[in-house]
Structure 1
Amino acid sequence: MPPPGRLAVYGLQHVLAFYAGAVVVPILLANAIGLDERQLIHLINADLFTCGIASILQSVGIGKVGVRLPLLQGVTFTAVSPMIAIGLAAGGGTQGLTTIYGAVIVAGLVTFLAAPYVARLLRFFPPVVTGTVITVIGLALLPVAATDAVGGANAPDPGNPLYLGLALGTLAVIVLIQRLFRGFLATVAVLAGLVLGTLASVPFGLVDLSAVGESDWVGVTTPFHFGWPQFSIAAILSMVVVMMITAVETTGDVIATGEIVGKRVGPDDVARALRADGVATTLGGVLNSFPYTCFAENVGLVRLTRVASRWIVAAAGVFMILIGLVPKAGALVAAVPHPVLGGAALAMFATVAVVGIQTLSRVDFRDHRNVVVVGSGLGVALFVTVQPDVAQALPEWAGIVLGSGITAGSVVAIGLNLLFLDTGRRSAPAPTTPDTVPFDRLAAAGPEEFAAVLGRLFEGPTPVPARVHVRGPFGDATAVRAAVQDELFAAPADEQRELMAHYPDLGGLVGTGGTGAPAPRRPDAGGPAAGTAAAALRDRAGLALLDNDDRAELAAVAGAYRERFGFPLIVCLRDAGDTRTLLATARRRLEHPSAQEHATALVEIAKVAGRRFDDLVSG
Structure 2
Amino acid sequence: MSNKKNITAPEHEFLGFGKSFAYGLQHVLTMYGGIIAPPLIIGAASGFNSLQIAQLITASLFIGGLATILQTIGIKYFGARLPLVQGVSFASVGTMVGIATTGGGFNVVLGAVMGAAVIGLIIAPFFAKIIRFFPPIVTGCVITIIGISLMPVAVRWIMGGNSKAPDFGSVENIGLAAMTLIILLILSKIGNETLRRLSILASIVIGTILAAILGFGNFSNVTQGAWFAVPEFLSFGAPVFHLPAILAMLIATVVILTETTADIIAVSEIVETKVDDKRIADGLRADMLSSAVAPLFGTFMQSAFAQNVGLVAMTGVKSRFVVAAGGAILVLLGLLPIMGRIVSAVPMPVLGGAGLVLFGSVAASGIRSLGKIDYSQQKNMIIVATSLAVGMIPLANNEFYAQFPTWFKTLFHSGISATCIMAVCLNIMFNHMGIKKKTLTADQLAKSVIKKTIH
State TM-score, norm by structure 2. 0.91
Q: Does 1:33 align with 2:46?
A: yes
Aligned-partner residue type, residue 47 of structure 2? G
CA distance in 1 between counterparts of 2:143 and 2:239 reads 35
Q: What SS is found at the alignment partner of 1:293?
A: strand
CA distance in 1 between counterparts of 2:235 and 2:191 reads 48
1:112 to 121, 128, 137: 121
Aligned pairs for 1:532-611 within 5 A:
none
Q: Does 1:230 align with 2:243?
A: no
Quickly say closer, same or farther: Cα 1:380–1:215, change in 2 above 3 A: farther
Partner of 2:145: 136
Partner of 2:62: 49
C-alpha distance after superposition, 1:392-441 (max 9, x if no partner):
21111111112222222222222222222222xx24613356999xxxxx
CA distance in 1 between counterparts of 2:351 and 2:115 reads 34
Q: Does 1:24 align with 2:33?
A: no
CA deviation after TM superposition for structure 1 residue 335, in Å: 0.4
CA distance in 1 between counterparts of 2:345 and 2:411 reads 34
Aligned-partner residue type, residue 271 of structure 2? V
CA deviation after TM superposition for structure 1 residue 159, in Å: 4.9
Aligned pairs for 1:361-440 within 5 A:
361-423=371-433, 426-427=434-435, 429-431=437-439
| Contact 2:161-2:168 within 8 A present in 1 as well | no
Aligned pairs for 1:289-368 within 5 A:
289-368=299-378
| Contact 1:215-1:331 within 8 A present in 2 as well | no
Partner of 1:583: none
CA distance in 1 between counterparts of 2:404 and 2:315 reads 41
Partner of 2:271: 261
Any stretches of 5+ residues in structure 1 without a counterpart? 437-619
Partner of 2:3: none
CA distance in 2 between counterparts of 1:376 and 1:171 reads 33
1:70 to 67, 70, 83: 83
C-alpha distance after superposition, 1:514-550 (max 9, x if no partner):
xxxxxxxxxxxxxxxxxxxxxxxxxxxxxxxxxxxxx
Partner of 2:180: 170
| Contact 2:228-2:337 within 8 A present in 1 as well | yes
C-alpha distance after superposition, 1:143-202 (max 9, x if no partner):
111111011133465652221221122122222211113321111000001001111111
Aligned-partner residue type, residue 134 of structure 2? F
Aligned pairs for 1:403-552 within 5 A:
403-423=413-433, 426-427=434-435, 429-431=437-439
CA distance in 2 between counterparts of 1:404 and 1:66 reads 25
1:125 to 131, 134, 142: 134
2:225 to 215, 225, 232: 215
CA deviation after TM superposition for structure 1 residue 126, in Å: 1.1
CA deviation after TM superposition for structure 1 residue 382, in Å: 1.6
CA distance in 2 between counterparts of 1:304 and 1:155 reads 32
C-alpha distance after superposition, 1:109-140 (max 9, x if no partner):
12222111111111111111111111111101
| Contact 1:253-1:296 within 8 A present in 2 as well | yes
Partner of 2:9: none
CA distance in 1 between counterparts of 2:383 and 2:78 reads 32
| Contact 1:16-1:333 within 8 A present in 2 as well | yes
Q: What SS is found at the alignment partner of 2:195?
A: helix
Q: What SS is found at the alignment partner of 2:237?
A: coil
CA deviation after TM superposition for structure 1 residue 52, in Å: 0.4
CA distance in 2 between counterparts of 1:259 and 1:175 reads 25
Instruction: Name which of structure 1's ranges 17-26 and 201-210 shifts more when overlaid on structure 2.
Output: 201-210
1:83 to 93, 96, 105: 96
C-alpha distance after superposition, 1:285-324 (max 9, x if no partner):
2221111111111111111111111111111111111110
Q: Does 1:3 align with 2:16?
A: yes
CA distance in 1 between counterparts of 2:114 and 2:277 reads 25
Aligned-partner residue type, residue 17 of structure 1? T
Aligned-partner residue type, residue 137 of structure 1? I
| Contact 1:388-1:404 within 8 A present in 2 as well | no
Aligned-partner residue type, residue 418 of structure 1? I
Partner of 2:196: 186
Aligned-partner residue type, residue 121 of structure 1? I
CA deviation after TM superposition for structure 1 residue 261, in Å: 1.3
Partner of 1:549: none
CA distance in 2 between counterparts of 1:367 and 1:184 reads 43
When the two chains are superposed, the root-mean-square deviation of aligned CA atoms in Å is 1.7
CA deviation after TM superposition for structure 1 residue 3, in Å: 2.1
| Contact 2:162-2:168 within 8 A present in 1 as well | no
| Contact 2:377-2:441 within 8 A present in 1 as well | no
| Contact 1:136-1:410 within 8 A present in 2 as well | no
Quickly say closer, same or farther: Cα 1:229–1:158, change in 2 above 3 A: closer
CA deviation after TM superposition for structure 1 residue 359, in Å: 1.4
C-alpha distance after superposition, 1:238-294 (max 9, x if no partner):
111111111121111111111111101211111111011111111212221111111
Q: Does 1:13 align with 2:32?
A: no
CA deviation after TM superposition for structure 1 residue 374, in Å: 1.4
Larger Rg: 1
Aligned-partner residue type, residue 10 of structure 1? Y
Partner of 2:293: 283
- The percent identity for this pair of structures is 38
Quickly say closer, same or farther: Cα 1:159–1:240, change in 2 above 3 A: closer
| Contact 1:133-1:406 within 8 A present in 2 as well | yes
Partner of 1:250: 260
CA distance in 2 between counterparts of 1:104 and 1:384 reads 25
Using CA pairs under 8 Å that are at least 6 residues apart, name the structure with larger relative contact order, 1 or 2.
Answer: 2
CA distance in 2 between counterparts of 1:252 and 1:178 reads 28
Aligned-partner residue type, residue 113 of structure 2? V
Quickly say closer, same or farther: Cα 1:150–1:108, change in 2 above 3 A: same
Any stretches of 5+ residues in structure 2 without a counterpart? 1-13, 445-455
Q: What SS is found at the alignment partner of 1:393?
A: coil
CA distance in 1 between counterparts of 2:78 and 2:183 reads 38
Q: Does 1:203 align with 2:213?
A: yes
CA deviation after TM superposition for structure 1 residue 389, in Å: 2.0
CA distance in 1 between counterparts of 2:293 and 2:188 reads 38
CA deviation after TM superposition for structure 1 residue 82, in Å: 0.6
Partner of 1:151: 160
CA distance in 2 between counterparts of 1:341 and 1:274 reads 29
Partner of 2:7: none
